[in-house]
Structures are given as C-alpha cells and as structure tokens.
Amino acid sequence: MKVAVLSFAHVHARGYLRLLARMPGVEVIGSDPDTGSAAPGEVRGRAFADELGVAYADSYEEAFAWAPDAVIVCSENARHRPLVELAASHGVDVLCEKPLATTVADGEGMLTACRAAGVRLAVAFPVRFSPAYAAVKAALASGEAGRVLTVSGANNGAMPTRARRWFADPELAGGGALMDHTVHIADLLDDLFDDARPVDVYAQTNNRLYEGEVDAETSGLVTVTYDNGAVATIDCSWSHPRSHHSWGGLELTVVGERATLEMDAFDQSLHGYSERRRQGLELPFGANLDERMLRAFLYGPQDSGMDVADGEGGLRTLKIVEAGYASARTGVPVAVG
C-alpha cells in the first residue's frame, strides 16, 4: 500500500511519517511545498523528510503521480480544503487532520467533493482508539451507568507555537485553543451519544495565559447541550506551562443516573523532569493511538469495532466550534446549525 503525507505543517506529520515508514507492506512519501507559514527555526520540506529518512516529492502533483492508495493531509487548518479536493479529483481516499476545516462552508465543500468522487473522507481523531474510552463506551452500552446526565471534559496542553507558530494565527488555524482542542472531546461525545445531536453551545474565551504574545484565544470553556438532555462542558485551554512534563492530555468524566465513569486517555506514561534540559520528560508505554487510527484508516475497523471518524462526524464537531465562537462573541448560547 502506498501512502502520501501532504504537508508537514501539522505537528502530527512527524509521527505519521515514522509510523507509516515502519508498517509492513506500506510505502510512504511526503510532500511539503507550501512552507511559507514556517517560522524561523521550524524544519519543513525536504529537510524534514531527510531527517526522518522518508522519500520526498517536491510538489503535490509529483506525489499524486506516484499513484498513492491513500493520502493524509497535515496542512494548516485553512489549507485542508484544497488538498482534500485535490485528493478527491485523483480518486484517492483521504485522512484529514482535525479540525476538518476552519469554516462549516469549507467542510461541506470537502464532503461534497469526496461524495462526488466516491472517495472516503476520514478525520484524524485518535482518542476514540483509547482503551480508556473503549471501557467508558462499553460501560454505557451495558446500561450499568444509566442515562447520561452530564459530561465534564478537559483537553489541555501547552501552547503549540513552540513547534509550529501557525497554530496561533487565526487566519491559518481558524482560531486558537477553542478551534484546536474542542473537537477531540466533541468527537468522543458524537460517537458516545450515537444518534443524539448538539442543540446549542455557550462558550467563553480569553488569552490571559499568553496575553500580548499571541492574538488567538489561549483559554476556553465550552458548554454543549444535547437533544438527549445531557449537558457537556469542555475545557479546551492551552494551559500547560512550558515546564510541564507532557505536551497535553485528555480527561473525561461521564455522570450517569447510576454511576460516574472517569477516563484519562494518556495516563499510561512515566513522568519526570530533566534539570539538564530544563524541561519535563514523558515516557509513554501504553497503546499508540495514532498507530491504531492509521491502521483503521488503511485496513478497516479495529478488533474493538472502532473505525476512524468520517467526514460527516468531522463536520458535526466543526459546527460545535463555529457555534462556540459565535457564543464567545455575543455572550449568549448559540444554536448549532
């Protein structure tokens, strides 16, 4: 199987390339011609591919001439649509980094293009492959927790501009922390609630954590009401200090009528601090969620039955984000379109 990674803008491009390069039966190539958003010191393009020891195409046209079976889009959020539509025009299945797009209109255009071409559009939400999430989902499916009343979630992390400056550029990223970190938990709830849909969103944001350093919001709290009566809150803040031992984390508490379920998607790791490097250290030993997601995209659902999020699901989570920004601007709950 031949897989092309289009753009190295997203921090996950490095992990995807490494994982694909060591998968038996998979050939991988990368292409990253649009490096204009790279800040000084950021390694992109051929130098990035050479560092990882993977083949490189100087243009996206050259990458598609290689005839890939699938592509992974890792560009800046605002540049997802043209690359997804390019993949659709070549009849190639595509896994798009989250969020699906920066606007609902772009997300809908991407879905339309992929449907017309008959290609698969998936969105990179690896947390749904967490064993901890599988346990929460199984407990709810068994009925032992009863009807879900409330959900409290936190997807926190360090401000990602240390690795890629564009994450805090509202034009390229579509926003800041709310755009970056709301969608992971929104996707879990989209899967967990099955047919239930979000009704309205209330959100507040600020950038007090890095005031004067970036224009985008760095903190946010989002409240989503669903038509099954459940209410979910999502802390989407870039609140980990630069000295923190990990890049980020995701925790979820689900309160049911008869039981409360708690999960930590990234708790299988050893933490410490290096005085020499003056930074936190993290040594994970649990399941690699990105690898599980990539295998599901390339080969089908895992043994657990979990599959990658589809484009329709990615669009639903994007609508929550769009309503969240509207609510943060107006100060009132906003209906999800």
CB 220 within 8 A of CB 233: no
For the chain, what's the residue count?
Answer: 337
Q: Which of 14, 12, 201 has the alpha carbon at shortest distance from 125? A: 12
CB 332 within 8 A of CB 202: yes
Give burial (CB, 10 Å; 0-12/13-18/19+) of 310. Answer: middle
Angstrom distance (rounded) from CA 200 to CA 223: 8
pTM as predicted: 0.93
Show the DSSP H helices in the chain as ranges. 12-21, 45-52, 60-65, 80-89, 104-117, 131-142, 170-173, 177-192, 289-299, 311-330
Give burial (CB, 10 Å; 0-12/13-18/19+) of 272. Answer: exposed
Between CA 110 and CA 238, with CA 184 as vertex, the angle to 5 degrees is 115
- Give the strands of the sheet with 219-226, arranged side by side: 260-264, 248-256, 148-157, 231-235, 219-226, 198-206, 334-335
Angstrom distance (rounded) from CA 244 to CA 85: 38
Angstrom distance (rounded) from CA 209 to CA 219: 7
Question: What pLDDT does residue 95 have?
Answer: 98
Token pair recorded at residue 11: 């921090």
pLDDT in tens, the chain (337 residues): 999 999 999 999 999 999 999 999 999 999 999 998 899 999 999 999 999 999 999 999 999 999 999 999 999 999 999 999 999 999 999 999 999 999 999 999 999 999 999 999 999 999 999 999 999 999 999 999 999 999 999 999 989 998 899 999 999 999 999 999 999 999 999 999 988 999 999 999 999 998 889 999 999 999 999 999 999 999 999 998 877 766 678 999 999 999 999 999 987 656 576 667 666 666 665 789 999 999 999 999 978 889 999 999 999 999 999 999 999 999 999 999 8
